[in-house]
Amino acid sequence: MPSLLQFLPSPTKRAPMGALPLLLVAALAFAGPQPAAAAGPPAAAAPVVTSTTAASMTLDALAEAHGRYFGSATDNPELSDAAYTATLGSEFGQITPGNSMKWDTIEPQQGQFNFAKGDAVVDFAQQHGQSIHAHNLVWHSQLPSWVSALPTGQVRAAMENHITTEAGHYKGEVYAWDVVNEPFNDDGTYRTDAFYNAMGTAYIGDALRTAHAADPGAELYINDYNIEGSGAKADAMYRLVSQLKADGVPIDGVGFQTHLAVQYGFPSGMRANLQRFADLGLDVAVTELDVRVQLPADAAKSATQSDYYRQVVEACLGVARCVGITVWDYTDKYSWVPSTFPGQGSACLYDENLQPKAAYDAVRAALGGGSGGGDDGGGGGTGNSALLVQYRNNDQNATDNQIKPGLRLVNTGGGAVDLSTVTLRYWFTADDPGGSPAATFDTWCDYAVIGCGTVTHRVAAASGSPAGADHYLEVGFSSGSLAAGASTGDIQLRLNKTGWTAFDESDDYSRTTGASYADAPRITAYLGGALAYGIEP
Ligand code: G3I
């Protein structure tokens, strides 16, 4: 059984979920993804978050049920917009100041520090029980001209003084710092900014050490964009943080900004990429998420945007050390995109009128929550009690002795579904050479957002032994109700033959090799015993 501390970013530092009630923290010890044992009974059941409960939970509460936070960037001018702050203060558990703590705001002239804007954001967050991921200390942009004009011999002292003064001012107030922001060009070479020109790559370690000395309790991050998927820039960041760890430099996390655009495709292998950084002993976080489209937006772009948001959430939930997701402001009303990319926009979860969009629903569903009423611009649901099954393969080895499907059931209809009337079938072959006596099976639920205690599972022989499917894993639910638009969230299942002989899954009817959730018409769903989704073998 994993300990509570495994689900907090670092046992020795401040947790990101500042207002987390103790009982919920305790529950989170059971709620995080649970590594499947090679054999034996499933781990203790996760706490039951019913779909009815989930439908009324905030994004942050849904994320907290996975041991993560869900946050938003904000900025000072917006804090006087009461309609905006009402949602900012309630839906999100973490705040990143979009501009208020940058060098040009904090120290516009050398040695003259002005913390008023940063303090205002901290005050807002504290009043709303939100943690602060502070942003940022060392960056080539929004850097006052006096820094770039310094003789190279004076840059280190100026940088260290800036870090010491600012991180010292916010000591104890912020959960994390983006100490170094965007050190790389897109090809993975280092940016030749004032800091690099003065100190070479040594400025990065120096900045981290200086920040650690100023606020030893803060999680220290390097943050960049276009490192979400595999590629030269991600590889460069990986080499950098590997070296920093090897050198004993205080670094705790890597921030993946995740400014996506539907026209450029989704970053390849995001989950695996996050995981390799986590495997270095670092936290990872999605720090500045938005997904822009070329205007005007339409239903197709909106659908792709929703899908990208969903994939980002799933990538984070799929990596135990991904501590949270922050959107780069939650509403198109205050998005940075249109002024930077003319002709593009509509990048946020809420529209300019502060109404949730389809992307918001996609995030909710990916977090295991119900519909929040987002407008998909393309019509409503598909009727009462429509079911959708999504699947991912949690075991890429097709010839070992276990089968590990990940399943999610989504209610795409307009009314609630009584889960006790629903069953799902994952079709596979037993690959039982002797066949006499016929294979028997053990089945396990290793983890379920709704709690394994409500998930039933068994293997049955398929009548007629259709190709690729002489058996099926049948999954049901002992109780619960799935609200319109809601998802059960991740259900991690596992089965083996009692004799532990190997399978050959390569020809199994329901199996794909997809490691991320996707619609799965070869996994069938039944309502009251009648086929409600998918195609039987
Ligand atoms: O404060 C001045 C105001 O006085 C002036 O009237 C106005 C005129 O344009 O400009 C204001 O400054 C703007 C500033 O945001 C504050 O609103 C700058 O022009 C504008 O360039 C600046 O944009 C910020 C951008 O960083 C600068 O690179 C965005 O708001 C901010 O969201 C964005 O955030 C960055 C992250 O820090 C790092 N990752 C990328 C992300 C998006 O670019």
CATH number at residue 430: 2.60.40.710
- 147-198 pLDDT, tens digit per residue, is 999 999 999 999 999 999 999 999 999 999 999 999 999 999 999 999 999 9
Is the domain of 244 the same as that of 340?
yes
CA distances from 523 to 394, 423, 508, 533, 537 (A): 15, 11, 11, 8, 9
Res 435: pLDDT: 66
Q: Which of 312, 335, 366 is the last residue of a domain?
A: 366
Encoded tokens for 401: 């002795």
276 domain-assigned? yes
What residues are labeled active site?
A: 182, 288
Half-sphere exposure of 45 (CA within 13 A, CB side): 10
Distance 111 CA to ligand 1 centre (A): 22
Does residue 504 fall inside a structural domain? yes
What domain count does the chain have?
A: 2
What is the helix (H) or strand (E) element at residue 97, kind and residue range? strand 94-97
Domain boundary among the residues 320, 335, 366 is at 366
| 96 touches 287 (CB < 8 A) | yes
Q: Which atom of ligand 1 approaches the CA of 225 most closely?
A: 39
Ligand 1 nearest atom to the CA of residue 77, by list position? 17
Q: Are strands 471-477 and 344-345 parallel, antiparallel or unpaired?
A: unpaired
- How far away, in angstroms, is 100 Cα from ligand 1 center? 10
> Tell me: the pLDDT tens digits for 425-483?
999 999 987 665 578 999 999 999 899 999 999 999 998 878 899 999 999 999 999 88
Residue 31 lies in a domain: no
Give the per-residue pLDDT at 7.
29
Do 362 and 450 lie in a common domain? Answer: no
pLDDT at 24 over 50: no
Minimum-distance ligand 1 atom for the alpha carbon of 102: 37
Domain boundary among 337, 366, 395: 366
Comparison of pLDDT for 417 and 118, the residue scoring more: 118
Residue 184, token pair as written in the block: 């790389």
Q: Is 142 in the pocket of ligand 1 (CB under 6 A)?
A: yes
At 296-343, the pLDDT tens digits run 999 999 999 999 999 999 999 999 999 999 999 999 999 999 999 999
26: CB partners within 8 A, 6+ apart:
4
Which of 134-143, 391-400, 440-449 reaches the highest mean pLDDT?
134-143
Which residue is closest in CA terms to ligand 1's atom 36?
98
pLDDT of residue 182: 98
Token couple for 141: 């942009």
Q: Residue 46: its pLDDT value, please?
A: 37
On whether both 418 and 361 belong to a single domain, the answer is no
Instruction: Assess whether 220 and 284 both reside in one domain.
Output: yes
Report strand pairing: 94-97 vs 387-393.
unpaired
Residue 508: which domain range?
Answer: 387-533
- Is there an atom of ligand 1 within 6 Å of 384 CB? no
Cα-to-centroid distance, 358 and ligand 1 (Å): 27
Q: What is the pLDDT of residue 4?
A: 27
Of 355, 370, 378, 360, whose CA–CA distance to 309 is shortest?
360
| High-pLDDT (> 70) share of the chain, % | 86
More confident residue, 383 or 166: 166
| Residue at 4 is within a domain | no
CA of 99 from ligand 1 middle (Å) equals 7
Confidence of residue 277 (pLDDT cuts 50, 70, 90): very high
pLDDT for 436: 57
Whether ligand 1 lies within 6 angstroms of the CB of 98 is answered as yes
- Composition of the chain by helix, strand, coil, percent to 5: 30, 25, 45
| Secondary structure of 418-435 in HEC code, one letter for each residue | EHHHEEEEEEECCCCCCC
Is residue 22 a part of any domain in this protein?
no
Looking at the structure, tell me whether residues 179 and 299 fall in a common domain. yes
- Angstrom distance (rounded) from CA 475 to CA 491: 10
Query: In the prediction, which pLDDT does 517 show?
Result: 85
pLDDT band at 294 (very low <50, low <70, confident <90, very high): very high
Provide mean pLDDT across the span 500-518.
91
Residue given tokens 């921030």 in the structure block: 255
Residue 535 has pLDDT above 60, yes or no: yes
